[in-house]
Structure 1
Amino acid sequence: MPKIVDHEERRRAIIKATWRVIARQGIANATTREIAKEANCSSGVLAHYFKDKADIMASAMRAAHNEVVERVAGTKLTGIAALREYMLECLPLDKRRRLLASIEVSFWGQAVGNKQLIAINGDELDTYQGRVRRRLVEAEAAGELQPGVNIDRTIRELHVLMDGLSVQAALYKGSASREEQVRMLDEVLARIVSKK
Structure 2
Amino acid sequence: MPRQVDHDARRLEVAEVAARLIAQVGVERVTVRELAKAAGYSTAIVSHYFADKRQLLLFTYQAAAQNAQERVDSVLSAAPEDLEGCLTALLPLDEARHRDWQVWLSFWGMAIGDPEFAEVQRRRVIGSRKMIQGVLEAMARKGKLSGDMDFDLLSRQLLTVVNGLAVQAGFDPADWPAERQQNVLSKAIETLLGQG
CA distance in structure 2 between the aligned counterparts of 1:144 and 1:193, rounded to whole angstroms: 10
Equivalences for residues 113-124 of structure 1 within 5 A: 113-124=113-124
Per-residue deviation, 1:27: 1.9
Mapping 1:1-196, distance limit 5 Å: 1-74=1-74, 75-79=77-81, 81=82, 83-146=83-146, 148-193=148-193
Q: Say if 2:15 and 2:59, in contact at 8 Å, map to a contact too.
A: yes
TM-score normalised by structure 2 residue count: 0.88
Classify the secondary structure of the residue corresponding to 2:89: helix
1:12-49 CA deviation, whole Å, 9 max, x = no partner?
11101101211222222212221121122232322222
Contact 2:19–2:103 (CA under 8 A) maintained in structure 1 = yes
How far does residue 193 in structure 1 lie from its aligned partner after superposition? Answer: 4.2
Which deviates further from its counterpart, 110-119 or 183-192? 183-192
Q: Is there any run of 5+ residues in structure 1 with no aligned partner, and where?
A: none
For 1:185 and 1:149, the matched residues in 2 are separated by 20
What letter is aligned with 2:131?
Answer: R
Shift of 1:128: 1.3
Larger mean Cα displacement after TM superposition, 183-192 or 116-125: 183-192
Distance 1:16 1:29 in 2: 16
Q: Take 1:175 and 1:157, find their aligned partners in 2: how far apart are those partners?
A: 23
Counterpart amino acid of residue 100 in structure 1: D
Aligned CA RMSD, in angstroms, stands at 2.0
Q: Larger RCO: Structure 1 or Structure 2 (Cα < 8 Å, ≥ 6 residues apart)? A: 1
Cα distance in 2 for residues equivalent to 1:158 and 1:95:
23
Specify the code of the residue in structure 1 equivalent to 2:133.
R
> In the aligned structure 2, how far is the partner of 1:159 from the partner of 1:175?
21
Q: Is the 8 A contact 1:144 1:193 kept in 2?
A: no
